[in-house]
Amino acid sequence: MLAETLDKRIAVDRQAVQAAVSGVEVVYHTAAVPGVWGAWELFHSVNVRGTENVIAACRACGVRKLVFTSSPSVTFDGTDQCGVDESAPYPQRWLCHYPHTKALAEQAVLAANDGRDLLTCALRPHLIWGPRDPHLVPRLIDRARRGRLRQVGDGNNLQGYLMVWLRDPPGPQPAGRPHENHQQVSVQGLPGLWNVWTGFVHGIPIINWVRAEGQDIYELEFDVMDLIRDAQNRGLEVPGTHINAVAVGFEIWEGPITNLESVDFYVDVN
């Protein structure tokens, strides 16, 4: 069996792709632009048009088998997906450009399977690693050598996410779903009204406090423990016993967006 791995630098160049697959029997298509940030055109050009180029090249060169590396995120809708299989439907809205474009590419690959001249399949691994892996294993080894690998707890830790949204986004939504019993509620220590969303991110529970529509704010100082106590008072599960990390940022769903800035972010640990 012969195979050719296509680099994302040539996935948008149809002639280069055709030259790469000429004379092989099987193509493993792993090229992609991953990540949660970036412009739609970048993701679409490589992940969708690049995949269309691969399909066209396989047909032009008589390649009979195409294996496409997809992603579990193509069906992720913000809710727990433990135990799901390939029958899980695509969501109505994707959380960022990467899973959206990978879903479009996956559908194109599966539709190209004619059962005779071109056989295709799509795999959805969480990670790819092995010989010549430039990403996961080298980074783990590097950090281990520099003494920067850390294990928190005994390896059986419970994890959870708490997220505060200072505005209710008009289109894209937080992970999970609005909790029907906790909408337009007051939270001790936080101003105004909030909508509580609950769900899972890759199997890890998340609780979102989303500023009520029309009450956007641009700065907020609060005690994280107020959120934890609020969740507990509402009967919502907050796994674990320690806060391991705090971060601030922007969820960029559509762009380009300019002139964004986080000012005076601080954490006071008592």
Q: Could you write out the DSSP letters of every residue in 228-243? A: HHHHHHTT----SSS-
Provide the residue type at 88 as one letter.
A
Task: For residue 98, indicate whether it is catalytic.
Answer: yes
The predicted structure's pLDDT at residue 62: 95
Query: What pLDDT does residue 223 have?
Result: 86
- Cα 66 to Cα 255: distance, rounded to the nearest angstrom: 33
> How far is residue 237 CA from its own chain's centroid?
23
Structure confidence at residue 3 (pLDDT): 46
CB 80 within 8 A of CB 71: no
Nearest to 207 by CA among 169, 235, 188: 235
What are the structure tokens assigned to 35, written together? Answer: 């990540």
Is 168 within 8 Å of 212 (Cβ atoms)? yes
Sign of CA dihedral 253, 258, 264, 266: positive
Give the span between the Cα atoms of 100 and 102, in whole angstroms. Answer: 6
| Of 152, 153, 129, nearest in space to 141 by CA | 129
pLDDT at 7: 61
Which positions of the chain have pLDDT values less than 50?
1-3
Axis-axis angle for helices 97-111, 50-61 (nearest 10): 20
Contact 199, 177 (CB under 8 A): yes
64 contacts 117 by C-beta, under 8 angstroms:
yes
Cβ-count burial 103-119 (b if 16+ within 10 Å, e if not): bbbbbbbeebbeeeebb
CA dihedral over 65, 71, 77, 79, signed as positive or negative: positive
Per-residue pLDDT reduced to its tens digit, 37-65: 889 999 999 999 999 999 999 999 999 99
The 10s digit of each residue's pLDDT in 158-175 is 678 888 888 776 666 777
Residue ranges of domains in the chain: 3-127, 158-270
Q: Which helix (H) or strand (E) holds 162?
A: strand 161-165
Separation of alpha carbons 130 and 136, rounded Å: 9
Catalytic residue among 28, 90, 98, 218: 98
- Does residue 226 contact residue 188 with C-beta atoms inside 8 Å? yes
Give the closest residue to 196 by CA, choosing from 214, 184, 205.
Answer: 184
Secondary structure of residue 181 in the 3-state scheme: coil
CATH domain 3-127 topology: Rossmann fold (3.40.50)
**Per-residue confidence (pLDDT) for residue 218, from 0 to 100:** 81
In angstroms, the CA 268 to CA 270 distance is 6
Model pLDDT, residue 60: 95
